[in-house]
Amino acid sequence: MEAKKPATKPAKAQKSNAPGIKKASWVIFACMVVTFCLFFFWFGNPSHFQDGNPDGHPINIWGTIYKGGIIVPILQGLFLTVIVLCVERFFALNSAKGKGDITKFVANVKANLVKGDIAAAQDLCKKQGGSVAAVVAAALVRYDEMDKNTVLSKEQKIATIQKELEEATALEMPSLQQNLPIVATMTTLGTLVGLLGTVIGMIKSFQALSASGAPDSTELSAGISEALINTAFGIATGAFAVIGYNFYTNKIDHLTYAIDEIGFSIVQTFAATH
């Protein structure tokens, strides 16, 4: 009869080491509530208009923004959402990186692996913390188990370590990328909503030009002002979202590269020493 292969110990249920806001829909809702309140109670305050009449001529930038129309608070809500999610990703990815320099951590772990000092490498993971250290720690636990295993073949042991690396990485990656798809969506959505506000403003301008008799200069300027304000907020939202998305994508790529590098070193060290 064939000897049964001893089952490796199942990994304990873990949670990701990259914290963050799980339900971004609440962030969007809260930002919209804030910007609509600002729009009606601050930008639309009578003190920002001649004779205290919000339907009249604005006397400062706040009144001018109010004249941008109902699309403006939507754009401001999108812009505020991008800012909040970018700040959230900043803290989440800093936490995922761990306490020390990630490049130095990877180099130190590799040096301990070369010396065969698994315990020292595990201590480094505990001190570092974060997503990269969590993946490395999980792989080192399996490395130690395979080192003591006398039944499995070398190829099976290497495959087990690689599987552990893949599973630990798969646990961390969704949390690292969390909310970034929403930021990416804002790059297009902000521009399109701004374009909608611009078109509405231009329609009002052309309506003023097409009026019988002399064109209404007040209506004409109001329409142009509305178009430009919406254009400005749309461009600002799209630009900030693009910058934030690319910046954090680059940081995630750096963390992923560190995980791949140390994972390759763990597998290669095991293959070379067994």
pLDDT tens-digit profile of 46-73?
998 888 888 778 888 898 888 888 899 9
Q: Does the pTM exceed 0.85? A: no
Region 176-198 average pLDDT: 91
pLDDT class for 17, splitting at 50, 70, 90? low
pLDDT for the residue 11: 42
Please check whether residue 244 is in contact with residue 82, taking contact to mean a CB–CB distance below 8 angstroms.
yes
Q: What is the 3-state secondary structure (H, E, C) of 98-161?
A: CCCCHHHHHHHHHHHHHHCCHHHHHHHHHHHCHHHHHHHHHHHHHHHHHHHCCCCCHHHHHHHH
CA 220 to chain centre: 41
pLDDT band (50, 70, 90) for residue 12: very low
Give the number of other CB atoms < 10 A from CB of residue 129.
18
d(CA 272, CA 274): 6
For 201, residues 6+ apart whose C-beta sits below 8 A from its C-beta are 68, 69, 223, 224, 225, 226, 227, 228, 229, 230
Q: Can you tell me whether residue 58 is helix, strand or coil?
A: strand
- Look at residue 3 in the predicted model and tell me its pLDDT: 42
At 2, is the pLDDT very low, low, confident or very high (cuts 50, 70, 90)?
very low
Domain boundaries, given as residue ranges, for the chain: 24-210+218-273
Pairwise pLDDT comparison (33 vs 148), residue with the higher score: 33
Tokens of 38: 């600002």
Q: State the Cα torsion 185-187-191-192 to the nearest 10°.
A: -20
Give the number of other Cβ atoms within 10 Å of residue 81's Cβ. Answer: 26
Q: What is the pLDDT of residues 108-130, one digit of tens each?
A: 888 888 887 888 888 988 888 88
272 band by pLDDT with thresholds 50, 70 and 90 = confident
What value does the mean pLDDT take over residues 227-251?
Answer: 93
- Taking the C-alpha atoms of residue 212 and residue 48, their distance in angstroms, rounded to an integer, is 31
